[in-house]
Amino acid sequence: MASTATQLAVRSVGAVTPLGDPLRVVLTCPYSLSVDGGVQGQVLGLARELRAQGVDARVLAPSDGPPPEPGVVSLGPTRRFSSNGSIAPITVGRVVAARTFEAVRALRPDVVHLHEPLSPMHYPLILGTDLPAIGTFHAAHTGRNAWYDTFRYPLAKMVDRLSAITAVSEEARRNVEELTGGGCEIIPNGVDVQIFSQSPPWPSSQPAIAFLGRHEPRKGLAVLLEAFVGIDRAVDLWIMGEGPQTSSLRSQYEKYSTPKKRIEWIGHVSESEKAARLGGSTIACFPSLEGESFGIVLLEAMAARTPVVASDLAGYRHVARPNREGIMVHPGDVMGLRSALQELLDKKELRQTMVDAGVRRTEKFLLENVAAKFHELYRAAVAGRQTLPQS
């Protein structure tokens, strides 16, 4: 009789129909799929696009509830760990290792694609199998990485086991180089432009500023709220997402919400509502303070034809170039952020110029192109050709 973990794996896959006898790929994500996050969204989106291109792609990840969509194998609930200025919902332990092995046996992949490959849930796949493995690094650590410093040699040996190594940006690549002394290929995150460009905009009776992100200090929501209350005009603030600061910030700023300037605490949103809210907003604002290796939310806003105001961080500049696709503000600068928001609210022509530039920019980050690049890496890994990192 099949084990409980195997039964879990088969049940969780859902209604994804095998595509004849195509390449079989398992994409892994160490973070809970029940929590909004850039890595989670990228893994799910990449799997969908790979299936559209004929690959039998499944996702293996923890989830603190039912799997969010077909094609997902749930490894069960997570615990919260402090990481890089945030709280990472990950899963660890022997039970998880057993479930991981059983799921892989049930799915029988030709190759595995490990996102954040040095997360603990990946150790069984790296050390306990000889499956061809691709590793993609997402994070840009703030300061020195104590984990890398302490376990440099064994972690570097695990990286050596990978058939190919990629990073989503120059900032993420530096972490790999710090650990291994070698380089890796940059394959940026991608966006499904159609989802955002064709979504009906969320209706609004007056201009709206949209924020999307976890409510924690490094995402800068407190900075945005302080900037917003000083804007002298009718405008709404749509706050999407949740987090440890939600209750305290809501309590602190609720008194500033008026019919003329409404602060709406929307909470978790579906993919369809996210696309509609971004498309219906006048400005999308991302005031993070640190720790951003990329800026997938900026790409999503640009695909939704919405101008962007964001912190001047290297990871964000990789997506929205200052004074072209976005207005970039020094992190934590309340007055500078307020000025940038006010300028875009007042200047319709400037907004349209930035929208046009943003739409052109998204063409360089199409998810279909990202999926095609990984498809090539998968084929090379399965064929047994060691894919050397590019310096």
What does the H/E/C string look like for 18-70? CCCCCCEEEEECCECCCCCCHHHHHHHHHHHHHHHCCCEEEEEECCCCCCCCC
Q: Does residue 75 have a pLDDT over 70?
A: yes
Asked if 102 contacts 5 with a C-beta cutoff of 8 angstroms, the reply is yes
Res 183 pLDDT > 50: yes
Mean pLDDT of 104-133: 90
Residue 145 pLDDT level (bands cut at 50, 70, 90): low
pLDDT for res 390: 43
* Exposure string over 320-347, b if 16+ CB within 10 A, otherwise e: beeeebbbbbebebbebbbbbbbebbee
**How much is the pLDDT for 95?**
75
* Predicted TM-score of the model (pTM): 0.85
Q: Is 203 exposed, middle or buried (0-12, 13-18, 19+ CB in 10 A)?
A: exposed
Residue 309: band (very low, low, confident or very high) from pLDDT cuts 50, 70, 90? very high
Reported as a single tens digit per residue, the pLDDT across 14-64 is: 445 444 458 999 999 988 888 888 899 999 999 999 999 999 999 999 888
User: Which pLDDT value is given to residue 93?
Assistant: 57
Residue 182 has what pLDDT?
73
DSSP state of 189: -
Helix (H) or strand (E) holding 83: strand 79-83
User: CB of 183 within 8 A of CB of 390?
Assistant: yes
pLDDT single digits (tens) 185-232: 999 999 999 999 999 999 999 999 999 999 999 999 999 999 999 999
Give yes or no for residue 89 having a pLDDT over 50. Answer: yes
| Averaged pLDDT for residues 65-89 | 71
- Please give the C-alpha separations between residue 210 and each of 272, 298, 358, in angstroms, as whole numbers: 15, 11, 16
Which segments within 219-375 are labelled E, that is strand?
Answer: 236-240, 263-267, 283-286, 308-311, 326-329
Q: Tell me the Ramachandran region of residue 11: left when phi exceeds 0, alpha when psi lies from -120 to 50, beta otherwise.
A: alpha
Query: Above 70 in pLDDT, residue 10?
Result: no
**Side chain identity, residue 249:** L
Q: How high is the pLDDT of residue 143?
A: 53
